[in-house]
Structure 1
Amino acid sequence: MTEVRIGIVLYPGAQRSAAMGLEDLFHVADRMTPNAGGGGQRLHVRMIKADDGAEALQDLPGSSADQCQVLIVPPSLEAPISSEAASPIAHWLRARHAAGTVLASVCGGAFLLGETGLLAGRAATTHWAYADAFRARFPEVDLDPDRLVIDGGDILSAGGLMSWTDLGLKLIERFLGPVVMGKTAQMMLVDPPGREQRYYSGFSPRLSHGDAAVLKAQHVLQASEGKEARLATLAAEAGLEERTLLRRFQKATGLTTTEYAQRLRVAKAQELLQFGRLPVERVSWEVGYADPGAFRKVFHRIVGLTPREYRRRFHA
């Protein structure tokens, strides 16, 4: 059997529980291989200590770290790593990628991958709560925080703190096959890949964009939970012509006024579905949709689940 070497990079602030969880996940998968048929490959996992930045990494060239087929940057419970702290590790990761190593990140670990410059022009994801900060720091990246895992072949990224399970299963499927992946998910009692981050994320409107007129329109939308979305009303409150408001609103928030209102209504609907017992038709009415069919379509487009599916999954 050939050996697939996977390195987990312990950078400053890395979440040790996620790193050890990934290690355990790969060990479980490896034990499944002889009985499940894994294409003649085995997984070998090692922790790569990069907490001390360049000094730690200078000891790695020529070691098994440089021989890893995959390097994973785990999440962090702290704020995203700074550019200064990330620089030596990012340089090393870029060199490893150039030598053929697959790179992967989880949650805030995407900021370290972003510092390599390798994500420019590519799709990536991170925790939805970091979306604005990530876009501001790496505007050249095609960020999609609705996705839980984005597999770009040589670079993978996963969204939330616990999405290390999804990333790990993706890699298990790649190297050991779908049978081993399925058995590993079953043993670990975790869902196989296929979830989306938007199932779990809330709507976090951009409010620090600095456009005072747009902010006034946002306050009207927020106060009415998206029900007051008439362009004439919003433009009057903002003191702008309607076309000017539309242009500036989208530039400031990343959404049209209609999309913004829809997200506010859906966020309220999620709350009612999760904590209440109103039928879906009544929830539709409560959030401003007279047509339940239209409500279902908007809800599914934004959340990725139907209202009933969302209630079954998340009802308290």
Structure 2
Amino acid sequence: MTNTMRNTTIQDFKVALVNYPGAQLAAIEGLADLFLVASRKSMSEGGGQVIIQRISAPLEAAFDAVIFPPSLDGARGTGEDKLIAWAVGQHQRGARLCSVCAGAFWLGHAGLLTGRPVTTHWALEDEFRAAFPAARLCPEHILIDDNDIVTAGGLMAWVDLGLFLVGLWGGQALVSATARHLLVDPSGREQRNYRSFRPNRAHGDAAILNVQHWLEAHPDGAASVEQLAAVAGLSGRTFLRRFQAATGLPPSTYAQQLRVEKARGLLERTRNPVAQIAWAVGYADPSAFARVFKGVTGLSAGEYRRRFGTVRMGRGLHST
């Protein structure tokens, strides 16, 4: 990759934006605008352009990249869809196939994700894993580049995907120029910065649900398996088996995720010092809390508060 813009020896970059039924139009038009900005800046330096085509039915033309955007109405595609067969043909001709958010389902139905690292919106994790168990889902990432397959996470991750493709085609200098023009951050985001812990409570196991409610009410307690099993009215071995089956997590991981989620809320809504928040969610050692919080969210507690805090910090007040 070069740090200068492309010159006239570089060919134009042809991109298909798949306008499938239910596709998010804002993403399609936003990507078109992003590529237009990049094209204008490239051509002003004597370089090529990104040629965009919105596709709602199969075409004979060959593309360098094919993008399946997000969907706001639950559209997921099926293996019988003609657009999926067309995308497979484009892939076989050398196109890089890309998706944003639920667009990854279309790539999955195309049979292209077996053994592949892939991301989608973190809230779609369970649905995606059930549909495509052979894919290596990594929902903590905003974007995963697997060479001929590129997937991006949440609804607005089309910005990350668009800038990534601009970089592949035109180099980092063009990415920077495009990002500055659009007033967006060209890098550094991860989905885990935004991801919330949403435990399953619809599993139908009343004993385990009782433990989940108890943990919600006692985030500052370092409960042992024996104590939690007593809350459930079960033996330790039976409790562990049923808790894992109901929630998908061992009790220790579940409790850790729950504490971090409660810490997120306190960082967002209060001015309380980080050490006080650590204590409130069960960490007597602030350094241990700092390690766990960053491991789960990808940000330090102070960085998280600066990015997502809803309470303005007054003079003389500090987040740590």
- 1:123 and 2:117 matched: yes
The residue that corresponds to 1:44 in the other structure is 51
Distance 2:194 2:214 in 1: 26
Query: What secondary structure sits across from 1:220 in the alignment?
Result: helix
Structure 2 match to 1:206: 200
Residues 140 and 281 of structure 1, relative CA distance in 2, 3 Å threshold:
same
Aligned to 2:65: 70
**Could you tell me whether the CA contact under 8 Å between 2:65 and 2:95 is conserved in 1?**
yes
Answering whether residue 11 of structure 2 is matched by residue 17 of structure 1, we say no
Structure with a larger share of its residues in helix: 1
Q: Return the TM-score normalized by structure 2.
A: 0.88
Contact 2:122 2:191 in 1 (8 A): yes
Query: CA offset at residue 28 of structure 1?
Result: 0.4
**Contact 1:71–1:103 (Cα < 8 Å) also in 2:** yes
Q: Check 1:278–1:207 CA distance in 2 against 1; reply closer, same or farther (3 A cut).
A: same
Closer, same or farther in 2 for the Cα pair 1:155/1:217, shift >3 Å?
same
Query: What is the CA distance between 1:288 and its match in structure 2?
Result: 1.3
Displacement of 1:254 after TM fit? 3.3
Contact 1:36–1:180 (8 Å) recurs in 2: no
Letter in 2 for 1:164: W
Whole-angstrom CA distance in 1 between matches of 2:306 and 2:171: 31
Q: Is the 8 A contact 1:280 1:307 kept in 2?
A: yes
Unaligned runs of 5+ in 1: 50-55
Of 39, 47, 50, 1:30 maps to: 39
Paired letter, 1:132: D
Q: Closer, same or farther in 2 for the Cα pair 1:41/1:207, shift >3 Å?
A: farther
CA distance in 2, matches of 1:286, 1:255: 23
C-alpha RMSD over aligned residues? 2.0
Distance in 2 between the 1:190 and 1:161 partners?
Answer: 15
Residue in 2 that maps onto 1:170: 164
2:218 alignment partner AA: S
CA gap of 1:177–1:133, structure 2 versus 1, over 3 A, is same
**2:129 paired with 1:135:** yes
The residue identity in structure 2 corresponding to 1:73 is: F
1:277 aligns with 2:252: no
- In percent, how many aligned pairs have the same letter? 48
Moved more, 203-212 or 258-267: 203-212
Instruction: Tell me the CA shift for residue 173 of structure 1.
Output: 0.6
Flag the 1:69–1:221 CA change in 2: closer, same or farther, 3 A. Answer: same
Indicate conservation of the 8 Å contact 1:36/1:179, yes or no.
no
Q: CA deviation at 1:292?
A: 0.6
Q: Which residue of 1 aligns with 2:3?
A: none
Change (3 A) 1:35 1:214: same
Question: d(CA) in 2 for partners of 1:206 and 1:5?
Answer: 43
Q: Secondary structure at the match of 2:278?
A: helix
Number of equivalenced pairs: 301
Matched with 1:288 is 282
1:233 pairs with 2:227:
yes
CA distance in 2, matches of 1:238, 1:96: 54
Where structure 2 has 5 or more consecutive residues not aligned to the other structure, the ranges are 1-7, 311-320
In structure 1, distance between residues paired with 2:171 and 2:45: 9
Please name the residue that 1:154 is paired with: 148
TM superposition shift of 1:80: 3.8
Partner residue of 1:217?
211
> CA deviation digits over 1:158-188, x for unaligned, max 9?
1111110001001111110000001111110
CA contact 1:13–1:78 (8 Å) conserved in 2: yes
- The residue aligned with 2:173 is 179
* Cα shift readout 1:38-74 (whole Å, capped 9, x = no counterpart): xx5431111111xxxxxx33xx2x2x3xx11100001
Taking the TM superposition and a 5 Å limit, the aligned residue runs for 1:255-266 are: 255-266=249-260
